Amino acid sequence: MANETVFTRHEANPILTAEAVPHANTIFNSAVVRYGGGYSGVFRVDMNDGAPELHAGSSDDGVRWLLDPKPIEFESDDPEISYCLGYDPRVVRIEGSYYITWCNEYHGPGIALGETKDFQRFRLICNPLPPFNRNAVLFPRKVGGKYAMLHRPSDPGHTPFGDIFYCTSPDLVHWGDHRWVMGPLGGWQGMKVGAGPVPIETEEGWLMIYHGVKITCSGYIYSAGAALLDLDRPWHVRYRTRRYLLAPTEDYERVGDVPNVVFPIATVVDERTGRLALYYGCADTSVGLAHANLRDVVAFVKENSFPQQ
């Protein structure tokens, strides 16, 4: 199976640009879920004063979006823990609530965790992981009786390294039992890797779509790959793609504030048809959408995998 046949880009790409919010410079790396009869999401909006903000948005079809022009205001029971800025959010539904993880500012870039039930009111629960950390995403159900999360320790800068780790919590506040999942492996994922959308449970394991970064003489290239993690021990990698699933080839992926970036961050699966919608950031400037069949993605991972670890 040729990798270019796995995902098909939407003809309306990029589906979301800075024009959606007044005074925005860019909108990218944003999270989408099904909600009610349509879709809701939390969007990274970088304003023209340089501040990265999180905005709520809604859509009837998952393509045409209406974003709140005002950033999300997170309520907090702890005055010492607050929302400072927000980028690269993920959203997942667990037991009737929608949980948001994002990179917050708390003496450096760290992970914040919030909750909403209606995408109108938002509550900041805690900062589960201290600086420096990025790219945190919750699993859609408990694993071994505990909440589970993938994350990537970093540094205060652009992070010239990056491995994916796994951790658990009994209550969404206290996190530990950290396990190493995987790190860079050369080629398109030779510099660093980071977890992308919420893992998808399949018969072959948790499908984790992730981004890999390659360093070249002219800068970084971000592409999307995937791995299948053990259902009971998700820090064990069963299969991992040698070849990328999606890489920057289109003008809107190659040209922008940060050139040559495909940054996968959200998926929505139609359970009736198996159609998988992948939302991704394009060149740190806009939001793109691509579709594939979930079975084809799983088959691609298995057929193009490194030797099992």
- pLDDT over 80 (residue 5): no
Domain assignment of residue 50, yes or no = yes
pLDDT band of 3, cuts 50, 70, 90: very low
User: In the predicted model, what is the mean pLDDT of the chain?
Assistant: 95
Q: Domain range holding 91?
A: 18-303
Full DSSP string of 187-254:
TTBSSEEEE-SPPEEETTEEEEEEEEEEEETTEEEEEEEEEEE-SS-TTSEEEEBSS-SB---SHHHH
The SS3 assignment for 303 reads helix
Whether the Cβ atoms of residue 105 and residue 51 lie closer than 8 Å to each other: no
pLDDT value of residue 69: 98
Asked if the structure places residue 13 within a domain, the reply is no
Q: Is the dihedral of CA 27, 30, 33, 35 positive or negative?
A: negative
For residue 207, how far is the Cα from the chain centroid? 13
Domain membership of residue 139 (yes or no) is: yes
What pLDDT sits at residue 268? 98
With beta carbons less than 8 A apart as the criterion, state whether 144 and 156 touch: no
- Structure tokens of 93? 């539904």
Q: Does any domain span residue 87?
A: yes
Q: Give the pLDDT score at 80.
A: 85
How crowded is residue 251: how many other Cβ atoms within 10 Å of its Cβ? Answer: 11
User: Residue 157 has what pLDDT?
Assistant: 84
Residue 83 has a pLDDT of 86
Are the C-beta atoms of 20 and 6 separated by less than 8 Å? no
Q: Can you read off the two tokens belonging to residue 44?
A: 């990274």
Q: Is residue 1 in some structural domain?
A: no
Q: Which residues pair with 109 in a beta bridge?
A: 105
94/286 Cα distance (integer angstroms): 28
Question: Is residue 49 in a domain?
Answer: yes
**Encoded tokens for 66:** 């209406």
pLDDT > 70 fraction of the chain, expressed in percent and rounded: 98
Using one digit for the tens of pLDDT, what is the confidence trace for 237-275?
A: 999 999 999 999 999 999 999 999 999 999 999 999 999
Kindly state whether residue 7 falls inside one of the protein's structural domains: no
| Rounded distance between C-alpha atoms, residue 134 and residue 170, angstroms | 21
Q: State the pLDDT at residue 274.
A: 96
* 5 assigned to some structural domain: no
Position 124 pLDDT exceeds 50:
yes
Q: Which residues pair with 290 in a beta bridge?
A: 9, 278
Residue 81 sits in a domain of what CATH number? 2.115.10.20
Per-residue pLDDT band for 306 (boundaries 50, 70, 90) equals confident
Band (pLDDT 50/70/90 cuts) for residue 297 is very high
Domain count, the chain: 1
Report the alpha-carbon distance of residue 223 to residue 243 in Å, rounded: 10
- Give the mean model confidence (pLDDT) for residues 161-181: 97
Question: For residue range 72-119, what is the model confidence (pLDDT) as tens digits?
Answer: 999 998 888 888 889 999 999 999 999 999 999 889 999 999 999 999
Residue 77 has a pLDDT of 87
Which band of pLDDT confidence, cut at 50, 70 and 90, is reported for residue 2?
very low
How far, in Å, CA of 270 to CA of 76, rounded?
34
Task: Provide the whole-model pTM.
Answer: 0.97
Answer for the pair 61, 37: CB distance below 8 angstroms, yes or no: no
* 309 pLDDT higher than 70: no
Task: Considering only residues 4 and 240, tell me which one the structure prediction assigns the higher pLDDT.
Answer: 240
Residue 82 is predicted with a pLDDT of 85
CA 88 – CA 29 distance, rounded (Å): 5
The encoded tokens of residue 5 equal 């046949």
State both tokens at 218.
């002219």
Residue-wise pLDDT for 126-154, tens only, equals 999 999 999 999 999 999 999 999 999 99
> Tokens at residue 33, please?
């879920």
Category of 8 on φ-ψ map: left (φ > 0), alpha (ψ -120 to 50) or beta: beta
Would you state the pLDDT for residue 4? 54
